[in-house]
Chain A
């Protein structure tokens, strides 16, 4: 019993060690890859631009729900005009980065993991090694950096669309005064709120992309193995995102 617990504990430590070592390899190789702009821009397109529709739609609906719920709640205290502030802070600091990261893990993370897993299964990774091209540099780092760059941009777009969604419900339907909605928001939301949001989405970008490329790159090269890598990407990413969210929130207090 204790032996099994100890074994799973050391296994977990080993896994953590190897993913940190993988991150180190990615970071060491990053400067060289950053010079190859087209490799990275293509991955920003794959991870970012192709996730835009789902991010924008979700942002709109999350914002609309926030408008509805926020208005109901604030009105109980007679401060319905504070809706703009509440929605903006909720989105910029919390919902924007977190929901974007969860959606990113489901949309772009799984795509990255299965793509890399299939490249391994079809010998494309070995073929690159045989052509003396380092697959870490050519395949993994551009995908990793693409995700890291795309995440804050997506979170920003999510928050902006969300604020408009809250405005749509709060001002147009519930009748909050448009002037106080916007002016209270501008007065109350500070730079540190935005910085916190950016810090979170950057951290989530690193975590999600790292987990996806790690799972994909080391996937067992079979149909089952690639499937498992994809599932693990989503599950691990979700837990890590929420855990990091707590840590960063606490750090900014």
Chain B
């Protein structure tokens, strides 16, 4: 078991009703941060408050009630593969409400309309492209009208058109429904068009925070490296290794 701490001295405030982006190099624990916020893992020490509730103090049942007020978009959509698009979006409603079939149909169709996929309602997840799956997953994430919507790397592997669609959806859902949004990503350009506020994580803590503009003019080395996409800097290009020449010239056969 690896007991290396992921975060040390992390302090972060996510304002209600805004789009907050969390950026950082791979392996800095962005996804772990999301899992902490959603209570999928518990922190060894420190406190996490979501909607005024301390995650550590919640029982399992209370945690499940709190999660009904959250929606999460997973990297690959995470649609249930044995259900159709319609049934995937209807799934939370069927599990948590006693709505009539007619009402469920109305709700599902309006959410699918919002992501532009009403026409795909009868398709199975395997028949969808990557961008479409993510849009269906987004419809599913908003079907219970959450107060908090979490996006885990929503832009990875999307073509420019699907990417633009997702970006606009994030902004529009936030503005029209007043949802608090957290977007984890390392796509600097995309994020700066949609986020109200950006946090840059590195080495287990926040190294910079502010609006996308403030971050662009931030003079710190690590921020410059990340925003500018420089190969070497405070985040080293090389994985720790013995001296290059020593290793090349050594007679040893093994690595």
Give me the interface of A with B, judged by CB distance under 8 Å: 119, 122-124, 126-134, 138
**B95–A123 CB distance below 8 A:** no
A-B contact pairs, 7 of them (CB 8 A): A122-B81, A127-B72, A127-B74, A130-B40, A131-B67, A131-B92, A132-B95
**A132–B81 CB distance below 8 A:** no
8 A Cβ contacts from B137-165 to A: 137, 140, 144
Q: Which of B38, B76, B81 sits near A130, CB closer than 8 Å?
A: B38
Q: Is B18 among interface residues, defined by CB-CB distance under 8 A?
A: no
**A124–B78 CB distance below 8 A:** yes
**B74–A126 CB distance below 8 A:** yes
CA distance A69 to B38 in the complex (A): 63
B-side contacts of A132, CB under 8 Å: 64-65, 67-68, 92, 95-96
Q: Is B198 among interface residues, defined by CB-CB distance under 8 A?
A: no
**A130–B80 CB distance below 8 A:** no
Q: Is B75 among interface residues, defined by CB-CB distance under 8 A?
A: yes
Q: Is B91 among interface residues, defined by CB-CB distance under 8 A?
A: yes
B-side contacts of A134, CB under 8 Å: 64
Give chain A nearest CB distance to B136 CB in angstroms: 12
Give chain A nearest CB distance to B72 CB in angstroms: 4
Q: Is B70 among interface residues, defined by CB-CB distance under 8 A?
A: yes
CA distance A126 to B72 in the complex (A): 10
**A126–B64 CB distance below 8 A:** no
Given A124-B81, A126-B40, decide whether A131 and B65 contact each other with a Cβ distance below 8 A: no
**B95–A131 CB distance below 8 A:** yes
**A130–B70 CB distance below 8 A:** yes
**B68–A127 CB distance below 8 A:** no
**B64–A127 CB distance below 8 A:** no
B-side contacts of A133, CB under 8 Å: 91-92, 95
Q: Which of B40, B76, B95 sits near A122, CB closer than 8 Å?
A: B76
B-side contacts of A119, CB under 8 Å: 81
CA distance A128 to B94 in the complex (A): 13
Give chain B nearest CB distance to A131 CB in angstroms: 5
CA distance A127 to B78 in the complex (A): 6
Given A131-B95, A132-B96, A133-B95, decide whether A126 and B65 contact each other with a Cβ distance below 8 A: no
19 additional contacts (CB under 8 A) given A127-B78, A128-B80, A131-B92? A123-B75, A123-B76, A123-B78, A126-B74, A127-B72, A127-B79, A127-B137, A129-B40, A129-B67, A130-B67, A130-B70, A130-B72, A131-B91, A132-B64, A132-B65, A132-B67, A132-B92, A132-B95, A133-B95
In the A-B complex, the 3 residue pairs with the closest CB atoms = A123-B78, A127-B78, A132-B67
B-side contacts of A130, CB under 8 Å: 38, 40, 67, 70-72
0/1 string, B25-40, CB within 8 A of A gives 1: 0000000000000101
A-side contacts of B78, CB under 8 Å: 122-124, 126-127
B-side contacts of A127, CB under 8 Å: 72, 74, 78-80, 137
